[in-house]
Copies of this chain bind each other. A is one copy, B any other.
Amino acid sequence: MTQIIDGKRTAEKIKQQIAREVQEMVEHGGKRPHLAAILVGKDGASQTYVGHKEKACGQVGFESTILKLEENITEEYLLEQIARINRDKDIDGLIVQLPLPRHINEIKVIEAIDPAKDVDGFHPVSVGKMMLGLPGFLPATPFGIMSLLEEYEIDTRGKHCVILGRSNIVGRPMANLLSQKSDRADCTVTVCHSRTLHVEDYTRRADIIIAAIGIPEYLKGDMVKEGAVVIDVGITRVPDSTKTGGYRLVGDVEYATVAPKCSYITPVPGGVGPMTIVSLLRNTLSAAKKEYSK
């Protein structure tokens, strides 16, 4: 029997926990956690994402501030704004919505964020701590996936996990997290990517597959062994005239052929997706509680 991992329900449950904790903080005279987001330019998807984050903050009782900047600002000006927010004691977490306009160096911008406020977990200090197994901000999607594995009590110890994709925001952090010495990790991890030959030779042996390559329906049923756990990180809009809106959302997994073979699988939508914003909220709460700073 295939069990469907319900990311929406899990995310909702975590949100309620966060909301309760914020309420207690406020009742004890504390301030509400405060997330600031910087949005540069008018990219539609970025506006939508930042809007979702703002809404989620409201749902759990966080304060949020969105700083909207023009497309044509200088890098220097953006760095000044970051420095100002870094100094602002009322703001706990700061995210800069990516991608940035081409004339701005993203790495320089990320490195300018105070690591104590780096709730996206993209700063080298956060990345380094994660790799070293030290407490710190985890990037949202990997954090969400680890939470789902925990929520569904999926045994990872000694399992072979194959990760499809080596991105800095999903594949690579997942490889580091799942190979840590821990009861909630301890996987033997293989990272496959665009240069891997015969990907199916790896996926067919995998106990756990994390698909994060951004190719719709890439993983097919004949590439998966009976009883595997499949986590689908992909989410692509595919034109579909039968749907209102004219498209449907598709993951990196061909659900119809893969799901019947799985012990557990995440659907798209409603699997990994809803966990991402919730992880950002958790990081912001940790920042407000100064959990990772001395």
A interface list, Cβ under 8 A from B: 107, 123-129, 131-134, 157-158, 166, 168, 172, 175-176, 179-181, 186, 188-197, 202
- For A173, the closest partner residue in chain B by CB is B131
Chain B residues within an 8 Å CB radius of A195: 157-158, 181, 186, 188
Cross-interface CB contact of A190 among B125, B129, B157, B188, cutoff 8 Å: B188
- How far does the Cβ of A209 sit from chain B's closest Cβ, in whole Å? 14
- Take A124-B125, A176-B172, A181-B166 as given contacts and tell me if A189 and B186 are in contact as well, using a CB distance cutoff of 8 Å: no
Contact A132 B168 (CB under 8 A): yes
Chain B residues within an 8 Å CB radius of A128: 123-129, 131
- Take A127-B127, A190-B189 as given contacts and tell me if A134 and B158 are in contact as well, using a CB distance cutoff of 8 Å: no
> How many copies are assembled?
2
- For A162, the closest partner residue in chain B by CB is B190
- Take A127-B127, A128-B124, A181-B166 as given contacts and tell me if A158 and B196 are in contact as well, using a CB distance cutoff of 8 Å: yes
Contact B172 A179 (CB under 8 A): yes
Contact B191 A179 (CB under 8 A): yes
- Take A193-B179, A195-B186 as given contacts and tell me if A107 and B124 are in contact as well, using a CB distance cutoff of 8 Å: no
Question: Could you give 18 example pairs across A and B, Cβ below 8 Å?
Answer: A107-B132, A123-B128, A124-B127, A125-B128, A127-B127, A127-B128, A158-B195, A158-B196, A175-B179, A179-B193, A181-B193, A181-B194, A186-B193, A188-B190, A188-B191, A188-B192, A188-B196, A189-B190
